[in-house]
Structure formats: C-alpha cells, structure tokens
Amino acid sequence: MSETIINVDSVHKSYLMGKEAVPALRGVSLVVKRGDMVCLMGPSGSGKTTLLNIVGGLDEPGRGHVTIAGMDIVSMGEERLARLRLERIGFVFQTFNLLSNFTALENVEAPMVLLRRLGRKERRARAQALLAAVGLADRVDHYPSELSGGQQQRVAVARALANDPEILIGDEMTGDLDSKTGFEIMQLVRDLNQREGKTVVYVTHDPRMADYADYSVHLLDGQIVAREADPVVSLIGD
C-alpha cells in the first residue's frame, strides 16, 4: 500500500451570498495516494474548483479535515500554509496566469525567488532546464504575449514545477486549448506523474482529458457520487 498524501475527510463548504449560505461541498471525503493521478469531474457548479482549492490550501473548508503529507492544513497558520504551498504544491490554471511583464524564464524563476533556496545562477539554470523539459528551450526570452496558448500553458507547467513540488493541481488546464494542444499538455503532465512520481489532481469537463488519470472522481451538487478506476492501473497501484 502506498502512502496517503492527501486526505480530505467529511469536508463541508458554503459560500455566504448576502444572508444566504450557498452549499458548495456537502460532506466530501477523498484519499489520494502518493503518485496517483486523479481527475475530478462533474457538471458546472458541482464543487470541483471549491474542492481543488481546498486540497491546494487556497481556500478553507467550513467543516471537516484536510491533511497534506500528514499535516493538518486547516488549523495551520496562513504563513506556514503559504510556505507549504510554495514548497509542495504546483498550480496550473485554465487561463495560464503568467506574469505578462516577465519573460518565460522569469515566470519560471518567480517561485524560486520567493522560496529563496537557490542563488541567481542556479535559479536561471533550473528555469532553463525546466523550460527545455517542456519543449521550450528556444522560447525562454519570449513574453507571454509572444507565445501560443499551448506554449503559455507549458510555461505554466514549468513554473508549477519550479520548487519541485510533490503535488500538481490543475483546474481546467486544457479548457482554453484546442484538443490537440490539450492532449499534448495532458501527456506532459502524465509523463511527470509517471517519471517523477508527482501526485496530480486535476479538474476537467472533457472525458478525453479524464482518460489520462488513474481514476476519476465524480461530483454532483457538492457530493462525490462515483469513482471510476481503470482496473488494470488500480491492481498495479495497490
């Protein structure tokens, strides 16, 4: 049995709209093992982004427990949580979210600057290597506006890997890309999962993108209603 890296236990979350509480998650429990690639699916408004943001420590549950690598992130102070995110979790979003005044190289360097573990030279070299690994060795000095959508998302993946996180989190990573480019990004993420053992949790609407996962978790109205595993993968995985 492999180690649990993410444990979500009986999580509830509501958003306050004026005086009314809008339920987004209603008792969600999910265990993710280290090295798993998990896809969250479900209709619009079912709570996918809310769950992903809670798993990534970007949002907190109203009730319930969440641990990352055995650490309780709900009771953790904001400063320690920010540090945990910076060190252990890489985020990739639908709209790439690159800094437009920074080159590809500078975007990838940014999380390393924040972590302050590497000196300038090492940072540069690592950013260059990460961009080469996502196929952008010849685009390091380009600004986001000078890159295609797929290339921008590759930069975002390289940036997410900057501090060598154990967990990659993606919300509709391929939502703004044509399907061919979307498949390329998913294959890149799958390779990182298989070669480097990164744990991946991602949201998609597209069943073809869900096929890259070891298993899918289906949400409906804030609850998990189904889990679908590829039987071969789950046999090997256990």
Ligand X SMILES: Nc1ncnc2c1ncn2[C@@H]1O[C@H](COP(=O)(O)OP(=O)(O)OP(=O)(O)O)[C@@H](O)[C@H]1O
Interacting residues with ligand X (CB under 6 A)? 15, 17, 22, 24, 42, 44-50
Nearer to ligand X, 46 or 103 (CB): 46
β-strand pairing of 71-72 with 20-33: unpaired
Let me know: does 39 contact 233? Beta carbons within 8 Å: no
Count residues near Mg ion (CB under 5 A): 2
Minimum distance of ligand X from residue 15's CB (angstroms):
3
Per the structure block, which two tokens stand in for 52? 């992903």
Side chain identity at residue 15, one-letter code: Y
Chain positions 164 to 183 lying near Mg ion, rule: CB under 5 A, are: none
Q: Does residue 94 interact with Mg ion by CB under 5 A?
A: no
Minimum distance of ligand X from residue 169's CB (angstroms):
13
Nearer to Mg ion, 48 or 139 (CB): 48
Per the structure block, which two tokens stand in for 103? 């080159």
Nearer to Mg ion, 17 or 232 (CB): 17
**CA atoms of 135 and 205, how far apart (whole Å):** 26
* Dihedral of alpha carbons 10, 16, 21, 22, sign: negative
Side chain identity at residue 192, one-letter code: L
Nearer to ligand X, 50 or 107 (CB): 50
β-strand pairing of 63-68 with 4-17: antiparallel
**CA atoms of 238 and 234, how far apart (whole Å):** 6
- Binds 42, which of ligand X, Mg ion, none (CB < 5 to 8 A, cut-off by type)? ligand X
Helices (H), the chain: 48-55, 78-88, 104-115, 120-133, 149-160, 179-196, 207-210, 231-237
Minimum distance of ligand X from residue 28's CB (angstroms):
11
Q: Does residue 49 interact with Mg ion by CB under 5 A?
A: yes
The angle subtended at Cα 51 by Cα 49 and Cα 56, nearest 5°, is 90
Length of the chain: 238
- Binds 46, which of ligand X, Mg ion, none (CB < 5 to 8 A, cut-off by type)? ligand X
- Binds 21, which of ligand X, Mg ion, none (CB < 5 to 8 A, cut-off by type)? none
Stretch that binds Mg ion, among 42-50, 58-66, 73-81, 83-91 (CB under 5 A): 42-50
Minimum distance of ligand X from residue 17's CB (angstroms):
5
Minimum distance of Mg ion from residue 160's CB (angstroms):
18
Nearer to ligand X, 136 or 201 (CB): 201
Which residue ranges make up the site for Mg ion (CB under 5 A)? 48-49
